[in-house]
């Protein structure tokens, strides 16, 4: 059973140059003219894997402390997870999706950006159509 850590309470929009040529529409993810929209109610597990040991200690990949009411990696993990979920239907390469993740972490100045980008590149899914 999958445990979702987060759920969107309102739709989320993000524009990125790598999405300019993408035209995609599903129940949860829409991409048109470089604008990605994730619909209200979308759920994801943040940066993973993470395990809570005995309800006391978090082991794994932290999402970062709260910053402006959300963890530092909140939006980057949201977009990355959604793009990975639909990777079999999207004309995006692993390099492009990882680049979007990198850019979002750079925007919030996440201090462990280089490590997280390397981790998703090496340990994340490798089965991309492009």
- What confidence tens digit (pLDDT) does each residue in 54-103 have? 676 655 556 555 555 688 899 999 999 999 999 999 999 999 999 999 99
pTM of the entire predicted model = 0.85
- What confidence tens digit (pLDDT) does each residue in 10-67 have? 999 999 999 999 999 999 999 999 999 999 999 998 876 555 666 766 555 565 555 5
Token pair, residue 43, equals 């759920």
Query: Under 8 Å CB-to-CB from 7, ≥6 apart: which residues?
Result: 41, 42, 43
How far apart CA 45 and CA 78 sit, in angstroms, is: 8
Of 77, 56, 72, 81, the C-alpha closest to 108 is 72
Gyration radius from the chain CA atoms? 14
């Amino acid at each position: 059973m999958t445990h979702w850590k987060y759920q969107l309470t309102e739709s989320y929009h993000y524009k990125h140059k790598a999405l300019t040529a993408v035209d995609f529409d599903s129940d949860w993810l829409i991409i048109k003219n470089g604008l990605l929209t994730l619909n209200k109610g979308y759920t994801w597990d943040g940066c993973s894997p993470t395990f809570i040991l005995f309800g006391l200690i978090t082991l794994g990949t932290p999402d970062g402390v709260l910053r402006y009411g959300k963890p530092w990696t909140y939006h980057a993990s949201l977009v990355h997870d959604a793009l990975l979920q639909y990777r079999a239907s999207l004309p995006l390469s692993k390099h492009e999706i990882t680049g979007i993740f990198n850019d979002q972490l750079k925007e919030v100045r996440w201090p462990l950006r280089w490590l997280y980008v390397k981790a998703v590149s090496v340990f994340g899914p490798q089965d991309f159509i492009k």
